[in-house]
Amino acid sequence: MPSIRHLTILGSTGSIGVSTLDVVTRHPNRFQIIALTANHSIEKMLEQCRLFRPRYAVMLDKGSGEKLQMAIREAGIATEVMWGVESLEKVASLPEVDTVMAAIVGAAGIRPTFAAARAGKNVLLANKETLVMAGRIFMDVVKQHHATLLPIDSEHNAIFQSLPHHFTGDLAAVGVRRILLTASGGPFRQSSLASLEQVTPEQACAHPNWVMGKKISVDSATMMNKGLEVIEAHWLFNAAPEKIQVVIHPQSVIHSMVEYVDGSVLAQLGNPDMRTPIAHALGLPDRIETEVASLDMFKIGRLNFEAPDFKRFPCLGLAYQALAAGGSTPAILNAANEVAVESFLKRRMPFTAIPIMIEQVMQSVSRKDIASLEDVLEADREARETAHDWLSSLV
């Protein structure tokens, strides 16, 4: 009988957090929820506290925390409610917790993810920004504190599964020629370039294969999501940028591939359901049931592959540029993209302005070397200010 894993879920009310809890529900003898955290979703958090009875529930801001605290008391639930970034860091590093699902979207997830790594936890990484913005220093922290890092993005989890078990960071030593990072191409893969000017937030969030949050859905539509994943793959697998090739695969059945020097290509396939990579990381080294539908190869019929069009998806090219520049540039890219996506979702600028804003910010904010998390957060702050200034100039 495997030992019980004690979990903190950072971002429990988001899509990854909900899927994680779905997997946990199916295996009550394997997992115990110690802490749940959320941004502002009070009602959803209250319901999760009713179902899972965590010791701690953390909201990002004081107002939401106080409202949840009152609701928890009225419901008679023995969960301690806290709020603020320091509280997020606390529950990510609790002595009784061995596994942390890092699923907070955006730069807000960086500090608690670092806290989990410093505490030597099993870190199930779904927060892209930690590696995009602070890849080198985060990987140093993981090694220094003997944390275990397991990727949750379906693409990186697929690569992880397709690499040898004894892989320790040297692709050449295990005979890897390159990593093939698959992408669906999003909802506008075949749209005319002229029509992209009129794209609405609703259209951009209507992903053809995956059910995701609004921000990541827009990132998929611009393919910035894939650009961020290229940067992640660089740090996760110690892969040079030229060893990471993006392949558009509209069916989203092959989640990524690894090509070896002998000509073999290993791939991980499955229905597009985030419970699969989550269960893989939660259960490792075991495989655990998820009730994800079996892959019907006969129904799929065929698998297609295309090279990405960098003219259609300029954000992908910007991400490769940021990775090549290094230092603070990936953090600048990420911050500018977050502001751009938020502005688009609020209908303050058109879809096609997203890469324009990002490029302008990358050109305006000076690249600096990164020596600490404070350096990363300062680059993030400066880039956001520049992005908002740029947006204001449009009005």
Q: What is residue 211's predicted lDDT score, i.e. its pLDDT?
A: 65
* Mean pLDDT in residue range 104-128: 93
Which domains, and CATH codes, for the chain? 5-151 (3.40.50.720)
Q: What is residue 57's predicted lDDT score, i.e. its pLDDT?
A: 98
**pLDDT digit string, tens, across residues 269-307:** 999 999 999 999 999 999 999 999 999 999 999 999 999
In Å, what is the CA distance from 202 to each residue of 35, 186, 226, 340? 33, 13, 20, 16
Q: What is residue 105's predicted lDDT score, i.e. its pLDDT?
A: 81
**pLDDT digit string, tens, across residues 160-181:** 999 999 999 999 999 999 999 9
Q: What is residue 395's predicted lDDT score, i.e. its pLDDT?
A: 63
- Cα separation of 251 and 229, whole Å? 18
* Mean pLDDT in residue range 38-61: 96
Percent of the chain whose predicted confidence (pLDDT) is above 70? 98
Distance of CA 223 to the CA centre of its chain: 14
**pLDDT band for position 247 (cuts 50, 70, 90):** very high
**C-alpha triplet 232, 169, 103: angle, nearest 5°:** 35
- Cα separation of 51 and 43, whole Å? 13
249: pLDDT strictly greater than 90? yes
- Cα separation of 394 and 361, whole Å? 14
- Two structure tokens written together for 270: 């499955």
The average confidence (pLDDT) of the chain is: 95
**pLDDT digit string, tens, across residues 355-377:** 999 999 999 999 999 999 999 99
Q: What is residue 151's predicted lDDT score, i.e. its pLDDT?
A: 97
- Cα separation of 86 and 151, whole Å? 24
- H helices of the chain, where? 15-25, 42-52, 62-75, 85-92, 110-118, 128-144, 154-162, 201-204, 214-222, 224-237, 275-283, 297-300, 314-325, 329-345, 353-364, 373-394
The pTM (predicted TM-score) of the whole model is: 0.93
* Mean pLDDT in residue range 212-230: 90
Percent of the chain whose predicted confidence (pLDDT) is above 90? 89
Q: What is residue 209's predicted lDDT score, i.e. its pLDDT?
A: 66
